[in-house]
Amino acid sequence: MKKKKIKAILQGIVIALICAVDVYPLLWMVSASFKQQSEWTSKPAYALNEGFHFQNYIDAWTRGHMATFFMNSLLCTLIALVFIVLFACTVGFATTKMQWKGREFVSKFFSLGIMVPVATALIPLFQIFNQLNLLNTRFCLIITYIAFGLSLSIYLVQGYLRSLPDELLEASVIDGCGIYRMMWLVVTPLMKNAIVTVLVLQFFFKWNDLLFSMTFISDSALKTVQTGLLYFQDEFGSKNWGAIFASVSMSVLPMLVLYTILNKKVMEGMTAGAVKG
């Protein structure tokens, strides 16, 4: 009995250690974001902050242009998300429940995109936008976000729709629904779960995008949070750790908030892509 207890305690310690390894760097980051410049030289890096030096955040937000970057990221991500969800639902519905020639082919065609590495399309995309004079616009970023979000989202929506009983659709037809009202009033409410999954997954993908935004956008008034962060150090100098940590903490905050509110949904959404893709 005693042996069992010791074992349980040891197991608990191992798990606690793993949790610590997971969380400690983040706590350190937040604590570091409140440190004054002098604390870095006078104390070891693992020491806690002495006071709350909010000036770091103010610096990052204004002088570091984090306000602009946030606005840009938010605009591009949200607009892209609206269209991704809309298209995923309509295409998903048309390819699983509606009857027409070529729907298998279209469905296969969309699923091909799941495997395409972003890097492979990057050079021609850059040339296309360059020819059309669309580089350095939000439009080119949004349209690529939409295009690259479609494959996986459609795939996920199709999975949900296949398990939707046809009788429901039949009943709505008998009740006199046309196709558009059926889509909007019957099917969409039933797909709420699928829509949330797609939203969560694509939000993280788009918000975290770096490759597209650093390739297509060089104008610093249009940069997104990720590109902004990448060059933050160049603008602020490598010595201003406080402001760097403040900006990194800030960029993490939306994720933190979203995750605490919706953690089950976020886990489901993020892993759906792996389990089904």
Partner 1 sequence: MKKVLGNKKAVALFVLPALIIYAIFVMLPVLWSFYYSLYSGSPGLKWEFVGLKNYSRLLVDKNFIKALTVNLKYISVVTIGQVSLGLALALMFKFWLRRCKSFVRTLIFFPVVLPTVAVGQLFNKIYEIQPNYGLLNSFLEGIGLEQLVQPWLGQSSTALWCLCIMDIWVAMGFYSVIFYGALLNIPDDIIEAARIDGSGSWNMFRRILLPLLRPMVVTCFVFSFSGTVKMFESALALTKGGPAGSTKSLSMYMYDVSFTYGKVGYGSVIAIVIFLICIVGSFLINRFDTKD
Which of 1, 6, 119, 261 contacts partner 1 by CB under 8 A?
119
Q: Binding of partner 1 at residue 44 (CB under 8 A)?
A: yes
Q: Binding of partner 1 at residue 57 (CB under 8 A)?
A: no
Tokens linked to 219: 């104008």
Q: Binding of partner 1 at residue 12 (CB under 8 A)?
A: yes
Q: Binding of partner 1 at residue 62 (CB under 8 A)?
A: no
Instruction: Give the interface segment with partner 1, choosing from 60-68, 157-165, 186-194, 235-243 (CB under 8 A).
Output: 235-243
Which of 15, 132, 168, 221 contacts partner 1 by CB under 8 A?
15
Return the closest-CA partner of residue 138 out of 212, 247, 60.
Answer: 212
245-264 residues in contact with partner 1 (CB under 8 A) are 245, 248, 251-252, 255-256, 258-259, 263
Which of 71, 74, 75, 122 contacts partner 1 by CB under 8 A?
122
Q: Binding of partner 1 at residue 97 (CB under 8 A)?
A: yes
Q: Binding of partner 1 at residue 51 (CB under 8 A)?
A: no
Q: How far is the CB of 210 from partner 1 (least distance, A)?
A: 5
Q: Binding of partner 1 at residue 1 (CB under 8 A)?
A: no
3 near 18, Cβ under 8 Å? no
- Closer to partner 1 at the Cβ: 71 or 248? 248
Distance in angstroms (rounded) separating the CA atoms of residues 156 and 136:
32
Q: Binding of partner 1 at residue 94 (CB under 8 A)?
A: yes
Q: How far is the CB of 34 from partner 1 (least distance, A)?
A: 14
Name every residue whose Cβ is closer than 8 Å to that of residue 47 and which is 6 or more positions away in sequence.
Answer: 39
Burial of 103 (0-12, 13-18, 19+ CB in 10 A): middle
- Closer to partner 1 at the Cβ: 55 or 97? 97
Q: Binding of partner 1 at residue 236 (CB under 8 A)?
A: no
186 near 172, Cβ under 8 Å? yes
64 near 220, Cβ under 8 Å? no
The single-letter DSSP state of residue 46 is: T
Q: What is the DSSP string of 247-267?
A: HHHHHHHHHHHHHHHSHHHHH
Q: Binding of partner 1 at residue 9 (CB under 8 A)?
A: no
Distance in angstroms (rounded) separating the CA atoms of residues 51 and 2:
46
The single-letter DSSP state of residue 182 is: I
Instruction: Give the interface segment with partner 1, choosing from 48-56, 64-72, 180-188, 191-199 (CB under 8 A).
Output: 180-188
Which of 2, 5, 6, 46 contacts partner 1 by CB under 8 A?
46
Q: Binding of partner 1 at residue 121 (CB under 8 A)?
A: yes
Return the closest-CA partner of residue 156 out of 230, 83, 96, 246.
Answer: 96
